[in-house]
Structure 1
Amino acid sequence: MRFSIGILTVLFLSLNFSIMPAVALSPNEVLVIANRNAAKSVGLATWYMEKRQIPKENLLMVFITDKETCSREAYLKKIVPPVRRALEKNRKINAIVTMYGLPLRISSSGRTKGEQTRLDLLTKQKKNIDALKEKTGQLTKEQKTTLKQINKKIRQLRASTDKVASFDSELMLVKKENYKLKFWLPNPYFLPWRSQKTSISKSDVIMVSRLDGADASIVKRIVNDSIEAEKKGLSGTAYFDARWKYPDQKKVSGYKLYDKSIHNAAKRLKKGGVKVVLDDKQNLFQPGDCPNAALYCGWYSHAKYVDAFTWEKGAVGFHIASSECMTLKRENSNVWCKKMLDKGIAATVGPVGEPYVQSFPLPEIFFDFLSQGKLTLAESYLISLPYLSWKQVLVGDPLYRIKIHKSNHNTTQMSREPL
């Protein structure tokens, strides 16, 4: 079953967000997974559990590579069985924390024999037409149409057999047996789909959030900043970096849908009393533009973090672009997730590969619920995330509940000339 967020836009925009109950994830519902094969992983796990008063018996230690990528075979043999046993033993668990030292990404298991056969056949048909063009110097109208159709089928087949996934997104379906690895799977908790029947049931899904970063000190800062922000309140400004003016049409999809959702997020937070800065020009926020940043969402600068922000303690934000969570460790990387964590953000979201824009959390859902403080970080992510068994990663303390300082300021509309 394929879903189109664009088709659901009108329904989504008409939803009354206030009907969502405050379920409030608690410490005894959290399972913490640490890697015995990674330095500091177990120590950080026990430290975090003490800080958050998570029961000691909720620690699961596994043994797997300490590299950022593991094989599908390793995931299935070394992670799935012990996690399922832990969940069976403690039925109260509703969320998992993957600790520093666990893999970030699961490599592809490769195409099945049938998938490879179909790709080989299409590739052969394409080569035959290309050879004909080289021989005759041109193609007939019918041959051009056929070639276009073949190229489209090749692209679609390669996309649908993309089996690289984030470790955490796959883990969200650890309770489900025998699901197909074929592109993404619909998240039944995604708010616009709550009244629709999906191939995945809610009982199959568990929340997953990661405590990770370039080094152990970043993990401790994430947790400490989150706890401090809960006690003192998160102050600062919400920055939203759209690319276009608010679209007039009701039905939008793809890039326009997410750009509109950034606008809607800004409107919702402003209505809720949060100080907001909205930029609707195509150029990004530039260095110095975003002091005292509490919340952020923008796009699109692929693997080129722009140091525009000074992050408040407890700040949360994400950048909509491909592969921005490909690594959290590589020293010279400029992907947004790593750099934002290096610079002081407490929580962020990003993909480990090409995710397609419609797989990102919808900004207006994520930030609206997060800023209300009724749901935790992990819960706000769960109801705003369209797809599972895919690329996205949530980095941050799943128990973090924002208490944001409200402001009487109006939204600031930034108008800069395009570069």
Structure 2
Amino acid sequence: MTSNFPLPINEPPAARVASGRCKFRHLIPALLIIPALTLSAHAQNIPEWNAAAETAVVFNADFPGSAELASYYAEQRHIPKERLIGLHCSKEDSISRGEFETQIRGPLLQMFESRHWWNAVPPTPGTPSQPTEKVRVLAIMRGVPFQIRRSAQNPKQSQEDEASVDSELAVLGLAKPPIQGGLRNPYFNQPSRFPLAQNTAGLLLVGRLDGPDDATVKRMIDDALAAEQSGLLGRAVIDLALKTGAYQEGEDWLKTCADSYRRAGIPVYIDHSEAVLRDHWPLPDTILYFGWYTDHISGALASPEFRFKRGAIACHLHSFSAGIIRTHDQAWVGPLLSHGAAVTFGNVFEPYLALTMHFDIFNKRLLEGFTVAEAAWSATPALSWMNVVLGDPLYRPFGKALGTKLGDGPDRDYALYHGMMQRLAGEPDGHVKTALTEFAEKRQRPRLLELTALLASLQSKLPQALDLLEHAESTAKEPAELLRLRLYRAEILRRSDKADAARSLLRTLLKEDPFKDLPARAAADSLLKDMGG
């Protein structure tokens, strides 16, 4: 991935409103009964928007299964049948610019204009969004091509003419969108929900329900709906790559994401090594994953036993992470979906680091209660460029308070953690950890102690994290849980320059019978070898 984008992005041409096309313009007792768990104050107060009422679904009439997936999605999201658009287009992943114009862009333009779907009225600041008969969201189904190949040979940097189909459709309303280079995104980093954002009349939010096979796509749809109903509870995983210099920006995005999760009451595991998370490293209940930088899926996320929690959102930043989509084991987006993610993102060609989706902005908007499409496109600086958003564009995982029927499993621990973090927002960190620790020890909840240890580790308070993990081990009963706690403790010992203690812990672990058939035992062996045995 090239680290920067040295030349200005093209400014959008003048809008054509006349034709209907336009562009741009003491707290322990309080936890004994869990009330409805709240989101941030901003998330509770953002304007509502019935995005499904302004969504059209595009499928490939010539691609087996595409129409059926479109109908299924429309039925689940209550999108009228007249909003389903069947195109006769190539069944290949990649098409030429000419094919894009004649098979996709042209027919869609005609459809929008004949049905008066363009929204050409700028929003009035401060007023709620009203349902319209217009279209602001495109859901593209599996079977529609996703790459537009390069035409010009050896173009100057920033003047490339290749692009993703999806990003070109985001600017469908431009009278004559430029072919070379990208366009500045007027919605980039706007704090408003899409219908109320400035200078976006006619802009489209585009999400693609695509992946390795039809079953995966259907599962993505179902998982998004289920997570919206139950609440997305679990932990986040950040995989740093220790990059510096021109690539520091990407590391900063990831660190800011971790801080956003902490403030939102989501526990975070951070990998502090240059390599990707090692094979078989245990990452239970992962609902959010962001990391970089390898060309194909590898490490913990590629391990056969790994599975994201239902409704998870995951992205690995790489120049060609979406160069292939309909695959279980190549690049990143397809494999992430195969391992259970409901949403992922990627680039079909070299995007330049500065023009990829900014993880920090995406997660800020998502946690504020925006839909996936709103959060993704508000975090993307350039349109008519290289990115794709894979997943239900209407998915809104943090749009409402969490439910109260959590049982006594892992979700309850995550809810307790979330509730305590929200109630003690603004209090000294020590108060939060003390309250969590006292409650977890009283109720014999080792997972809650583990989550508190992750908080201490995130704050670089490694001795505290070690103590909390040892406390958790003393009450853990399941071998897989105990193995994970010891692995995490060994890693923190290593980070604390206590290599001898880490090696001793790992050697003992590898001799114990309860762990011999667990996949994570291989991670212990790998870590020990990395430390010289």
Would you say same fold, with TM above 0.5?
yes
Alignment correspondent of 2:86: 61
Q: Which of residues 379, 391, 399 is equivalent to 2:394?
A: 399
The answer to whether the 8 A contact 1:25-1:399 is kept is no
Per-residue deviation, residues 56-80 of structure 1 (Å, max 9, x unmatched): 1111111001110111111111211
Alpha-carbon distance, 1:367 to partner: 1.2
**Structure-to-structure mapping, 1:307-318, within 5 angstroms:** 307-308=300-301, 309-318=306-315
1: CA distance between counterparts of 2:394 and 2:326? 24
Alpha-carbon distance, 1:305 to partner: 3.3
State the TM-score, normalizing by the size of structure 1. Answer: 0.77
Between Structure 1 and Structure 2, how many residues are aligned? Answer: 350
Q: Which of residues 197, 200, 203 is equivalent to 1:202?
A: 200
Asked if 1:288 is matched to 2:303, the reply is: no
2: CA distance between counterparts of 1:341 and 1:330? 9
1: CA distance between counterparts of 2:112 and 2:83? 10
Per-residue deviation, residues 232-290 of structure 1 (Å, max 9, x unmatched): 11121111112339x9xxxxx85211211110111011011111112333222122232
State the TM-score, normalizing by the size of structure 2. Answer: 0.61
Alpha-carbon distance, 1:193 to partner: 11
Alignment correspondent of 2:319: 322
Alignment correspondent of 2:65: 40
**Structure-to-structure mapping, 1:310-389, within 5 angstroms:** 310-330=307-327, 333-372=329-368, 374-389=369-384
**Structure-to-structure mapping, 1:117-132, within 5 angstroms:** none
1: CA distance between counterparts of 2:135 and 2:98? 25
Alpha-carbon distance, 1:174 to partner: 0.8
2: CA distance between counterparts of 1:351 and 1:79? 20
Alignment correspondent of 1:126: none
Alignment correspondent of 1:236: 234
2: CA distance between counterparts of 1:167 and 1:269? 32
The answer to whether the 8 A contact 2:276-2:298 is kept is no
2: CA distance between counterparts of 1:329 and 1:306? 21
The answer to whether the 8 A contact 2:324-2:330 is kept is no
Any unmatched runs of 5+ in structure 1? 4-16, 112-118, 120-156, 195-199, 248-252
**Structure-to-structure mapping, 1:95-134, within 5 angstroms:** 95-110=137-152
- State the one-letter code of the partner of 1:83: L
Identity of aligned residues (%): 28
Asked if 1:183 is matched to 2:186, the reply is: no
Q: What CA RMSD, in Å, does the superposition of the two structures yield over aligned residues?
A: 2.7
Per-residue deviation, residues 2-36 of structure 1 (Å, max 9, x unmatched): 16xxxxxxxxxxxxx95994453521111100111
Alpha-carbon distance, 1:327 to partner: 1.2
Alignment correspondent of 2:438: none
2: CA distance between counterparts of 1:267 and 1:326? 31
Per-residue deviation, residues 63-110 of structure 1 (Å, max 9, x unmatched): 001110111111111211221233332342110011011001111232
- State the one-letter code of the partner of 1:72: R
Q: Considering fraction of residues, name the structure with more strand.
A: 1
- State the one-letter code of the partner of 2:363: F
Any unmatched runs of 5+ in structure 2? 1-6, 10-40, 119-133, 193-197, 403-413, 422-450, 459-490, 496-526
- Computing the radius of gyration from Cα coordinates, the structure with the larger value is 2
Q: Which of residues 250, 258, 263 is equivalent to 1:266?
A: 258
**Aligned to 1:203, what secondary structure does the other structure show?**
coil
